[in-house]
Structure 1
Amino acid sequence: MGSVRAGFTGAVNSEWIKFCGLISNKVLAGVTFVLIVANAVLMPWAYVLRDRGSVQSDYDPYPEMVIDKTAYIGLILAILATLVITNEYRSGQIKTTLLATPTRTPVLAAKAVIVAGIGFVIGVVSAGIGYVLAPVILARGGYSYILTTSDAVRLVLGSGLYLAVLPILGLAVGVLVRSVVGSVLVVLALMLIVPYVPQIFSAAGAIITQYFPLQAGSRLLTVIEPGSLDPWAGFGILLFWTLIVVVMAGIAYHRRDA
């Protein structure tokens, strides 16, 4: 048991060193953080400076405006996670990785821990900064919103959880597809294109659309509306999708040659 723990700890340390060793990884993670914080600042400012005569501007400020683009910005982390594994296949480094850790499960689990941990920190910290700055910005225009404790937990913690799970899904896609370009295309298709296909064939397609990964998981970050999918239920659906793809990736990872 101790050797298993040692192997996993070593794998995590190794994956962290490899992650930090590539500037592109740091850049993509940094860009994600900056974009989310920028949105958190710009959305309240946009509300304060909005054209009062515009019909589109006739709404009250709401807490979710701070992180309402996080769902789509988070795709950068999903793509980053695919690159974490596909770049190893492309360069052949995966063979060295598996020689150092012959048992494959710790390697895949370590990669998941790294990308999930980075996503969680980015989500929680960026949302926290946003909810500190947004009320100050809105107050300059004489505006405010009501943020209950339960909503604060959902929005801040939910940002971290959403950005932790999405990269794991991206990582699993990368394991299955292996190709850098192919993995990125599959992630984008699964998140942005395929979910809206049902709407083309049926008016009821919108109901189906909300059960796809991004659309369901992002319910944690959006306004709660009567009759719509519950935020935590939506996150559960994202977890379910991720579990399915991870299991498929795990089977392929163990059965295929490096």
Structure 2
Amino acid sequence: MTTAATPTSPATAASRPRARTAVQPVTYSRLVAAEWVKIRSLRSTWWALALALAFFPLLAAMRSSSIAAIAADAPPNFFVGPAYVTSGVTLALLVVCGLGVVAVTAEYRTGQIRSTLAAAPTRLPALRAKLTVVTGLAFAVGLVGVLTGWAAAAPWFGTIGMSVDLTDPQHVRLMLGVPLYLAAMTALAFALGAIVRSSAAGIASVLGLVFVVEPAFAYIPFEPLQELAAYLPTAAGARLVTSDSLGSVVTGSGVTTLGPWGGFGVLLAWVAVLLVVASVLLRRRDV
């Protein structure tokens, strides 16, 4: 014998309690997790990171092999290992600064920024979350980059007579300075991108500052301009990754008014000022 199913009336269905979806509060850690999902979901992010990483072993091997033939004529301890291991920092800087700009401007181009700010109505936590993710990536690129550069240059160490000595304060500063410098410069690029809200304008501003304006100040034979160039962000921060004997591969400024950590402090001051400007504009502007 079969039993016919009893139809459920609309009133009965409506009276049944429905499971409620718990709404989680917006916290900084959740915003960071959301920004991490956004940035890692883009193939362009991984291509950019791979390109930035590739510069370190490539340039380290090229520079180390090129000086192997003349190493016998050089004075003892002339070649500073970390200065060659970190040769790729300049080209990597170009890539991570572009990533820093796009990390904040891409959402303005697509309109996704409206959803982001709707989830974080006070706005500034969303900006800080984006900054945390992109600078963390830049720091990781710098750290892995110096390790791969070290491995790539190591085969020529015996021929050249150089090494990486982690008991030498200068060597430690150069090796650790690269990820710190890349992270700080990425934060600077991020702040400029947040101010202009345009990928093209942001990248042009960063590249113009780093590769046009600052070198022009450094190479013009006028002492006041050269002194001023030492306090511009790229030159000041590059003091952290400048060898005492070989100079800098990042900037043409030869002024040593600032010490390594003092120069890095000046760079962080530039970053702080630009982030304050970006924060104020984010609060005042309509999306």
Query: SS where residue 74 of structure 1 aligns?
Result: helix
CA change 1:68–1:218 in 2 (3 A) is farther
CA change 1:111–1:246 in 2 (3 A) is same
Task: State the percentage of identical aligned residues.
Answer: 30
1:16 is matched with which residue? 36
Corresponding residue to 2:243 among 223, 235, 253: 223
Runs of 4+ in 1 over 6 A off after TM superposition: none
2:271 is matched with which residue? 242
Query: SS where residue 27 of structure 2 aligns?
Result: helix
CA change 1:5–1:147 in 2 (3 A) is farther
Q: What's the TM-score, normalizing by structure 2? A: 0.79
- Structure having the higher helix fraction is 1
Query: SS where residue 79 of structure 1 aligns?
Result: helix
CA change 1:91–1:142 in 2 (3 A) is closer
- What count of residue pairs does the alignment treat as equivalent? 252
CA change 1:26–1:7 in 2 (3 A) is same
Alignment of 1:153-172 (within 5 A): 153-172=172-191
Deviation (angstroms), 1:61: 2.0
Alignment of 1:23-172 (within 5 A): 23-49=43-69, 60-63=78-81, 64-139=83-158, 141=159, 143-145=161-163, 147=165, 149=167, 150-172=169-191
- 2: CA distance between counterparts of 1:219 and 1:72? 17
1:206 is matched with which residue? 226
Gaps spanning 5+ residues in structure 1: where? none
Alignment of 1:176-195 (within 5 A): 176-195=195-214
- 2: CA distance between counterparts of 1:169 and 1:146? 30
Amino acid at match of 1:93: Q
- 1: CA distance between counterparts of 2:88 and 2:224? 25
Give CA-to-partner distance per residue, 1:89-127, whole Å, 9 cap, x none. 011110111112222111100111111111111111211
Amino acid at match of 1:77: V
CA change 1:188–1:136 in 2 (3 A) is same
Deviation (angstroms), 1:42: 2.0
- 2: CA distance between counterparts of 1:142 and 1:242? 39
Gaps spanning 5+ residues in structure 2: where? 1-23, 248-254
Give CA-to-partner distance per residue, 1:106-161, whole Å, 9 cap, x none. 1100111111111111111211232344343221x252246352123212221111
CA RMSD of aligned residues (A): 2.7
Q: What's the TM-score, normalizing by structure 1? A: 0.87
Query: SS where residue 103 of structure 1 aligns?
Result: coil
Q: Which has the larger radius of gyration?
A: 2
- 2: CA distance between counterparts of 1:201 and 1:147? 37
CA change 1:191–1:256 in 2 (3 A) is same
